[in-house]
Amino acid sequence: MTEIRNNWTREEITEIFNSPVLDLMYKAATVHREYHNSSEVQVCTLLSVKTGGCPEDCSYCPQAARYQTDVKAHKLLATDEVLAKAKEAKDAGSTRFCMGAAWREVRDNRDFDRVLDMVKGVNGMGLEVCCTLGMLTEEQAQKLKDAGLYAYNHNLDTSEEHYDEIISTRTYDDRLDTLNNVRNAKISVCSGGIIGMGESDGDRVGMLHTLATLPEHPESVPVNALVPVEGTPMAEQPRVSVWEMVRMIATARIIMPKAMVRLSAGRVRMNLEEQALCFMAGANSIFAGDKLLTTPNPDVVQDEEMFQMLNLKPRKAFKGEASVKFEQIPL
Ligand code: SAM
Ligand code: DTB
Ligand code: SF4
């Protein structure tokens, strides 16, 4: 059994990342089969519960207020509306429901109380509930946990060295502090990043190195291909090739064997064969439904056809073991 290690060196990861791509895939596929059922893929659904108008300057993001994009700002959705969407997602076969808010950080106000109600409601439906709401204090993480939150998504996005080129309104350490608060509240950690933002291979390795040397690996690692959106500073970035996705996914799989590696944003621009390469490289989770937060994603029917063609089946909810003790809280 491949050992779980938190002491990877940057050199070791660089060597894996740069190995011949077919060897890299083969190694990743082997590790994948040691720790996971390779015919299972976790299906998650995203919902933007509060859209746009964000004060941050993340240069990839269509929801930052300072960029002129087509995204229409919308205040926090009503709880009923969110629960109806969660039910739709469950009926369509999703087992994880992730609610995103275009906030810099959570504030202790009525909106947060409403998000806590949403978490309770979605948990009561038997779905793994995930949120991505920006920075969190330890107390806020605990409140989310008490409401039944299963996982929290907070991406490092890129390497520490490249971070300042992408975002100036918060620091890498702020991100790491939030991840630490989430971990301490015994919430499952979801953290990854985006490729295609002008970073070097060294930056890609750097981000994976930070994730793989956290005291505990994240339970899930989303790998996003930049979705270039008109109006953002990243609008003209060239498209990432499937081989770049494969290298990221396969390296993540090898150095964090137990993690769910999510083939996240960017699937609309990939055909079935390209996505199959990513599954072969160790991806075992996707976002389903025709919208991510604000940008398009393949529709459910297309994904059903893909699952059939590739003999994949959706993974059941709450299969994650890890250090996350979780009980469904009865309503
Ligand atoms: N505001 C919160 C935050 O930034 O943590 C939560 C929502 S934010 C939209 C969640 C993540 O979406 C970002 O960290 C980023 O990784 C991803 N994301 C945003 N825009 C993207 C884009 N255009 N392409 C790919 N990923 C994107
Ligand atoms: C993640 O890593 N990717 C998702 C989720 N976590 C929140 C978000 C992708 C957003 C893509 C751009 C958009 O749709 O606004
Ligand atoms: Fe705001 Fe999150 Fe978008 Fe950054 S990524 S601008 S914090 S919504």
Each residue's pLDDT tens digit, 30-49: 999 999 999 999 999 999 99
Pick 37 or 320 by higher pLDDT: 37
Round the average pLDDT of the chain to a whole number and report it: 95
61 classed as catalytic: yes
pLDDT at 226: 98
Q: Which amino acid is at 70?
A: D
131 and 98 in contact (C-beta within 8 Å)? yes
If you take atom 5 of ligand 1, which residue's CA is the nearest one?
134
Two structure tokens written together for 57: 């300057």
Rounded distance between C-alpha atoms, residue 115 and residue 111, angstroms: 6
pLDDT at 320: 66
Annotated binding site for [2Fe-2S] cluster: 98, 130, 190, 262
Average pLDDT in the 57-80 region? 97
pLDDT at 319: 76
Residue 195 has pLDDT above 70, yes or no: yes
What are the extents of the domains in the chain?
A: 10-312
Q: Which of 224, 232, 268, 297 to mutate to test the pocket of ligand 2 (most atoms within 8 A of CB)?
A: 224
pLDDT at 323: 41
Rounded distance between C-alpha atoms, residue 99 and residue 293, angstroms: 9
Residue count of the chain: 331
Kindly indicate the confidence band of residue 1, based on its pLDDT and cuts at 50, 70 and 90.
confident
Residue 11 has pLDDT above 60, yes or no: yes
Alpha helices in 125-225 (DSSP H): 138-147, 160-166, 172-184, 201-212
pLDDT at 316: 87
pLDDT, tens digit (0-9, with 9 covering 90-100), for 137-185: 999 999 999 999 999 999 999 999 999 999 999 999 999 999 999 999 9
pLDDT at 327: 57
Instruction: Report the predicted TM-score, pTM, of the whole model to 2 decimal places.
Output: 0.95
Name which CATH class applies to 10-312.
alpha beta
